[in-house]
Amino acid sequence: MSASTVPMSAVVVDAYTTGNHLAPAFRRHGVRVVHVQSTPVLMTTMMQPDLTQYEANIVLDDAGAHLDLLRAHRPLCVVAGQEPGVIPADALADQLGVPGNRPELSVARRDKYEMTEALRRAGVRCADQFTSADPDRIAAWAAERGGRVVVKPRTSAATDHVVVCDTPEQARQAASEVLAARDIFGAANTEALVQVYLEGPEFKVDTVSYAGERYTCGVWQYHKRLVDGRNIYDRDEIREPEDAVTQEIIGYVDEVLRALGIEYGPSHTEVIVTADGPVLVEVGARTAGGLVPPFHDACLGGNQADVLALAFTDPERFRAEYAGREYRKLRHASQVYGATTLSGTVAAVDTATVEKIEALGSVYRFTLKKQPGDVLRPTVDLYSTTFVAHLAADSAEELRRDYDALQSLKDSLYVLEEA
């Protein structure tokens, strides 16, 4: 078979967690898919890529042999499946000559400090911040700035080591903990980032872009509880797309994506609406962590993975049907995160409690995150939540009723070993 007759392929880099939705989406659009692994061995801290979905798995190497292997598959695009794939996906798209985001802004799409500084240079509203490898300097900045601050790693995710601090001493301690840890992708934290605390409700915005034209797949409002300096996820709820605040957020996110050079592919953006207007928390140039394509189809009239695949396989149809538009709210929807104060080793899952939860009318999908033998610890971030429930209902009242039922049942889900 000559090179010109080889079917074209989509390339996905590091398809961990919700990156697993990309290969089926491209295949539904009649395109073969190749996986690229950016590390010599697969990372073990996240849900693994399902490599059976791909024509090949190609490991990046310093000699560049992967480029010839990829060219043989006739790539039409390169997209990141998860955060570690963002920078290599940009580089590969540039090297292979396919549509992609500019490599010179790759670090700003991955590093939270550089991300905010890119906004500042572009004149986009953003948070005051400081970064250092010295916890004393972090504390000194917090003291000089005054008021509440947030300390976090520069390149992690899932609220890993994100701590809200009310005093300089708390900021020093939080920075020390960041610097002593690795991020969830296994990289050492060489600096801690401290930012002014943003007061106001928080939202997440998921988009797909092609040649700078964007479709907004969904705007959701987070509900969190501050516990011992940790903002614990409780639930998020889909917003009315026509609402004035929703439209203001969408307009602001468009400014953010332009400043960061996100012209192609997915993005997952988190913002807080302050008294001065929306301000960026962070952006991921990849699909949303809560993406469940059938759920989003049923509630929003589309999903990020399939719209992304359409954009690269049929740009004209994407422009005609999606560019410049927003999702439709077809049902009331929420994603609920199971938080706990319990600790111990899981002896068993209480199947009766699971059955009660799954029988709730709005429960579309219920995912347990612990199994017998796993260690349960008090929730401090997304990774230590105990379940995720996707709810969809015809009324807000039904959604709230089932949310309350979930809260009453959540601590009965796991039987813990006796001390």
- Per-residue pLDDT of 346-402, as tens digits, reads 999 999 999 999 999 999 999 999 999 999 999 888 778 999 999 999 999 999 999
Gyration radius of the chain over CA positions = 21
Say what the pLDDT of residue 28 is: 94
Q: How far apart are CA 294 and CA 63, in angstroms?
A: 41
Instruction: Please give the average per-residue pLDDT across 120-131, as a whole number.
Output: 98
- Please say whether the beta carbons of 300 and 208 come within 8 A: no
Say what the pLDDT of residue 1 is: 42
pLDDT band at 2 (very low <50, low <70, confident <90, very high): very low
* Close Cβ partners of 307 (under 8 Å, ≥ 6 residues apart): 208, 215, 217, 318, 322
- Please say whether the beta carbons of 366 and 387 come within 8 A: yes
Burial of 182 (0-12, 13-18, 19+ CB in 10 A): middle
Q: Tell me which residue has tokens 């079917």.
A: 7
Q: How far apart are CA 356 and CA 344, in angstroms?
A: 23
- Please say whether the beta carbons of 279 and 181 come within 8 A: no
Is pLDDT above 90 for 135?
yes
Instruction: Please give the average per-residue pLDDT across 115-119, as a whole number.
Output: 98
Q: What angle do CA 31, 57, 74 make, to 5 degrees?
A: 40
**Identity of the amino acid at 59:** V
Of 395, 394, 383, 389, the C-alpha closest to 409 is 389
Q: How far apart are CA 360 and CA 101, in angstroms?
A: 43
Is pLDDT above 90 for 49?
yes
404 Cα distance to chain centroid: 26
Say what the pLDDT of residue 175 is: 96
Taking only the tens place, the pLDDT of each residue in 138-182 is 999 999 999 999 999 998 776 778 999 999 999 999 999 999 988
Of 178, 176, 220, 228, the C-alpha closest to 202 is 220
What element of type H or E holds 269? strand 265-274
Q: How far apart are CA 304 and CA 309, in angstroms?
A: 9
Q: What angle, rounded to 10 degrees, do the helices at 168-180 and 135-145 form?
A: 150
**Identity of the amino acid at 66:** H
Handedness of CA 119, 124, 125, 128 (dihedral sign): positive
Q: What is the number of alpha carbons within 13 Å of residue 240 lying toward its C-beta?
A: 5
Of 201, 192, 200, 139, the C-alpha closest to 166 is 139
- In the chain, the N- to C-terminal Cα span, in Å, equals 65
Is pLDDT above 60 for 246?
yes
Taking only the tens place, the pLDDT of each residue in 300-346 is 999 999 999 999 999 999 999 999 999 999 999 999 999 999 999 99
Say what the pLDDT of residue 157 is: 74
Instruction: Please give the average per-residue pLDDT across 24-42, as a whole number.
Output: 96
Say what the pLDDT of residue 419 is: 66
Handedness of CA 78, 82, 83, 84 (dihedral sign): negative
Instruction: Please give the average per-residue pLDDT across 113-129, as a whole number.
Output: 98
Is pLDDT above 60 for 186?
yes
- Please say whether the beta carbons of 57 and 37 come within 8 A: yes
Say what the pLDDT of residue 337 is: 93
Which residues on adjacent β-strands are paired with residue 227?
230
Is pLDDT above 90 for 130?
yes
Taking only the tens place, the pLDDT of each residue in 256-304 is 999 999 999 999 999 999 999 999 999 999 999 899 999 999 999 999 9
Q: How far apart are CA 303 and CA 327, in angstroms?
A: 9
Say what the pLDDT of residue 144 is: 95
